[in-house]
Chains A and B, each alone.
Chain A
């Protein structure tokens, strides 16, 4: 049994080890922490990949090991690995607190991993809190910058509020069914009007975590204020974790035929896609632009859950994974720019096409994948999602999604335009450190590969969603 929990145990131990390392090796600890974390994450990633199809349920169905959970665990670990690699240089800003940064990062990963494996609402909630609380600290990590502190306070208040809402929803579900085990809820759920408010509260709670409109207000400020590597991890991994838990819960527990939460979620998804994309059109700061774009992306992902069929769910998984590479690729480039220019304004990308053709090409590919332009991976993901929506009868939702993703090309291309014909404040070639170069190559190559030949990923997603569809 403990063997099955090995990945979680290793990550937890790794987090503690990294904290201790600085204490016993005061000078070399900071550097050692980097390498220990990186190596540990790679190890766990390989472990999970090689045991991908293992299925087990522990502690009376409270904790589940299945391909679905493994898929998302791989996603979190890959994302964290890319974040760590691309911000090797950036973390120097954190000074003596670098190693704790890695420790908190590991704890957020632990939280996410437990979240996707949770077969019980309370376990899910505790894991969510572990993740969120670690994020509160990470968001405030640049102590001398006001925006960072402001972001942390905002995140703390709104995060606590949304957790409260979620918990309230969970308690109502418990009241109506007498259990918190996800697989048992569906059997004992009493169908009373109170259930509607429970579902609405849960939608709102999860909506906060994945930033669906109208629960998205916190994202832009917090994304802008937080250190850029935290922002990128927050935008990608925490969103995927929230969504993964949401999908598991809604698909297994709430198979209701007298209250159509699909339609409610469809409206939220439509609003998210429209508002996220429209506000992104006028942004001038790359972090805010990516924040609004990530709101829009959450809308696309929610479409898959609305459809709740084969294509839709595969789409959720497929798209979350390719979103990792595309979004982290874009953030990795932004990190390099911030290292060089000390700025997050889009103007700082001026003449990147000349200063570093590689970075400009990566940025272009990643942004266009976010927009869903073939032959990049985002297109295959959207094809799944919107095929699911059409199959589920939500043609209008698919239309809004497609139209908005074409409109989104406008603001992504604005960045591309600056990179190729913008004015440059500096003309010197931009140096990229080696680990970041690896991360960038991984992002761009996988984005291209999964766009042109998505089969490796479709095989994984097919196995992962089989638990919902038999």
Chain B
């Protein structure tokens, strides 16, 4: 079992699928679709195997692979997975697999669509399984261009044109990554000057002592870079526009996992390598996080377009993640990672359902709808699961994340946490209002022609819905892992304090 390069296989299967699809004739749409479905299914299966066979008694980095890649720069193709990255890997594959089914009806240039989508999934997954900074950045940026092309070609123009949405998304993320890359290069060069050995290995980089001003400088750069990706206030405005313009699958992956690279990066790279810098910058992040939570929630209340509602709500929810990271204790970090997982499946499910509804009704405006539960009971169930998860109903996976964050953060930032908790009320307000307006009320005859979810359309609902509910009822399956990973990480940087009230 341990001789098999299982992480490489998980990672490269979608890439191989993408290349394979490029060589298929373009009219074999069915074959292309099934290829995409097959490779993502295998990846999902493999990541489930990793999840099951990860040795929880020993912890640490497991399934390690290492090949020297660019000796001149000290880069290795190094893979490994621990308690923090494993939930992210699982999340990526859950959403990647569902995203293929959510795009089942794409006929126009399906070949290009699915190969780009698979490249996108590979890129996202790569960032979570690598333990090398260079490779991390490589995968992170790989995703940007496929997203751009996917948005401008298969996106939708409603409130903003898809060209605008795609460009805004791309430029924001790239400018964020310019800051990030400067931070990475500074770190790399500093380590080289300190030790005389070029290396981009995360473990190696975190074992060195950097002076405080350098740590603050680099961590600030990373906060800008990762913060933009995580739609941290005030760098969040790409997010709602981007999601609105993007095709369903891209919205799902983007809101579901890609954004989480920001949070994951802050923990895995920022905090892990630069703990002293993190402690200085954390209060700033916490304040911005509250702006995220409240400001985006207030905007949400006045939105009419379903995609904008979910888009802004994801900005709002990322505030919780940020405050969890900023509190810098075990419980809050556990909560942040759990929240990223929970929000990922929830947002992906939301976008899958909205995409499906939009495809059939050609509108996303909540005022146009009403009483859809009559015509589309399955879709309505999905919306209810996603919506209730979004407002943090106990029994759903998101509740666990939110609750843990609040418990962890309260000891650090009392006032801010109270403000953050009040965000839950606003969330409940706009979510319930949206669900009510779209799903319930009298039956509207103009929507009688809409067909409920059936066949492959059920896949995203079943997979993601199951993840939300199973995660809610058996949170320890994931939480124990995260706890283990976070404990090790914090112990490594001597910051292990439990937090809590």
Return the contact of B141 from the options A353, A373, A453, A454 (Cβ within 8 A).
A373
Is A252 part of the binding interface, using a Cβ–Cβ cutoff of 8 Å? no
Q: Which of A401-443 contact B (CB under 8 A)?
A: 402-403, 405-407, 409-410, 413, 416-417, 420-421
Partner of A409, one of B69, B71, B171: B171
Report if A455-B141 is in contact (Cβ < 8 Å); known contacts: A402-B182, A420-B149.
no
A361-378 contact mask (Cβ, 8 Å, vs B): 1 or 0: 000100010000111000
Given contacts A398-B182, A409-B170, contact A383 B73 (CB under 8 A): yes
For the complex, what is the distance from the CA of A409 to the CA of B171, rounded to whole Å?
8
Contact B185–A379 (Cβ < 8 Å) = no
- List residues of chain A with CB within 8 A of the CB of B163: 417, 421
Quick check: B138 and A454 within 8 Å, CB to CB? no
- Contacts between chains A and B (CB distance < 8 A), count: 89
Q: How far is the CB of B238 from chain A (nearest CB, A)?
A: 14
- Measured between alpha carbons, how far is A453 from B145 in the docked complex, in Å? 20
**Pairwise interchain contact B138-A375, C-beta atoms closer than 8 A:** yes
Chain A residues 341-381 with CB under 8 Å of chain B are 353, 357, 364, 368, 373-375, 379-380
Are B174 and A458 interface neighbours, CB within 8 A? no
In the docked arrangement, what's the CA distance between A398 and B73, Å?
A: 18
Complex CA gap A357/B174 in Å reads: 26
B142 to chain A: which residues have CB within 8 Å? Answer: 374-375
Choose one: B149, B175, B185; the contact of A383 (CB below 8 Å).
Answer: B185
A390 at interface, CB cutoff 8 A? yes
* Structural contact, A416 and B148, CB atoms closer than 8 A: yes
Q: Which residue on B lies nearest to A404, using beta carbons? A: B178
Q: Is B295 among interface residues, defined by CB-CB distance under 8 A? A: no
The answer to whether A455 and B70 have CB atoms under 8 Å apart is yes
- Please provide the chain B residues from 147 to 163 with a CB less than 8 Å away from any CB of chain A in the complex: 148-149, 152-153, 163
In the complex, A373→B175 CA distance in Å?
12
Q: Are A374 and B138 in contact (CB-based, < 8 A)?
A: yes
* CB of A386 closer than 8 Å to a CB of B: yes
> Is B357's beta carbon under 8 Å from chain A?
no
Contacts of B153 in A (CB 8 A): 420-421
The CA of A373 and the CA of B178, in the complex, are separated in Å by: 11
Give complex CA distance A357, B115 in Å: 13
Name which residue of chain A comes closest to B163, CB basis: A417
User: What is the minimal beta-carbon distance from A222 to any residue of chain B, in angstroms?
Assistant: 31
From known contacts A391-B189, A402-B178, infer whether A410 and B167 are also in contact, taking CB-CB under 8 Å. Answer: yes
Q: What total of chain B residues lie within 8 Å of the partner, measured CB to CB?
A: 34
What CA separation (Å) do A387 and B149 show in the bound complex?
30
Beta-carbon nearest neighbor of B172 in chain A: A406
Per-position 1/0 for B121-152, Cβ under 8 A of A: 00000000000001001100110110011001
Q: B185 near A398 (CB under 8 angstroms)?
A: yes
Check: B65 CB closer than 8 A to any chain A CB. no
- Distance of A423 Cα from B163 Cα, bound (Å): 14
Contact, CB under 8 Å: B145 / A373: yes
A462 at the interface (CB under 8 A from B): yes
Contacts of A311 in B (CB 8 A): 189
Main secondary structure of the interface of A (DSSP, over half): helix
* Contact, CB under 8 Å: B175 / A403: yes
Task: Say if the beta carbon of A399 comes within 8 Å of chain B.
Answer: yes
* Across-interface contacts of B188 in A (CB, < 8 A): 387
Query: Closest A-chain residue to B72, C-beta based?
Result: A458
Q: Assess whether B192 is interfacial by the CB under 8 Å rule.
A: yes
In the bound complex, what is the Cα–Cα distance between A266 and B185 (angstroms)? Answer: 18
Do A357 and B112 contact each other (CB < 8 Å), given the known contacts A406-B178, A421-B163?
yes
In Å, the complex CA distance between A390 and B188 comes to 10
Report the nearest A residue to B175, measured CB to CB.
Answer: A406
| B415: Cβ under 8 A from any A Cβ | no
Task: With both chains docked as a complex, state the minimum distance between the C-beta of B213 and any C-beta of chain A, in angstroms.
Answer: 13
* Max count, chain A CB within 10 A of own CB: residue among B72, B153, B179, B192: B72
A395 within 8 A of B: yes
Bound-state CA distance A69–B130 (Å) is: 38
Q: Give the residues in chain B near A454, CB-CB below 8 Å.
A: 70
Judge if B177 is at the interface, Cβ distance under 8 Å: yes
What residue of chain B has the Cβ atom nearest to residue A393's Cβ?
B189
Would B137 and A374 count as touching, CB distance under 8 A? Answer: yes
Q: B118 to nearest A CB, angstroms?
A: 15
**Interface contact B174-A455, CB-CB below 8 Å:** no
User: Can you list 30 A-B contacts with CB-CB less than 8 angstroms, sorted by A residue number?
Assistant: A364-B145, A368-B145, A373-B144, A373-B145, A383-B134, A383-B185, A386-B181, A387-B189, A398-B185, A399-B182, A402-B178, A405-B178, A406-B171, A406-B174, A406-B175, A407-B171, A410-B167, A413-B167, A413-B170, A420-B149, A420-B152, A421-B153, A453-B69, A453-B70, A454-B70, A455-B69, A458-B70, A458-B72, A459-B72, A462-B72
Given A391-B189, A402-B181, A420-B153; 9 other pairs, CB 8 A cutoff: A314-B72, A353-B112, A364-B145, A375-B138, A375-B141, A387-B188, A403-B175, A420-B149, A421-B152
Which B residues form the contact surface with A (CB < 8 A)? Answer: 69-73, 112, 134, 137-138, 141-142, 144-145, 148-149, 152-153, 163, 167, 170-171, 174-175, 177-179, 181-182, 185-186, 188-189, 192-193
| 10 nearest CB pairs, A to B | A406-B174, A458-B72, A402-B178, A374-B138, A406-B178, A390-B189, A374-B141, A391-B189, A403-B178, A406-B175
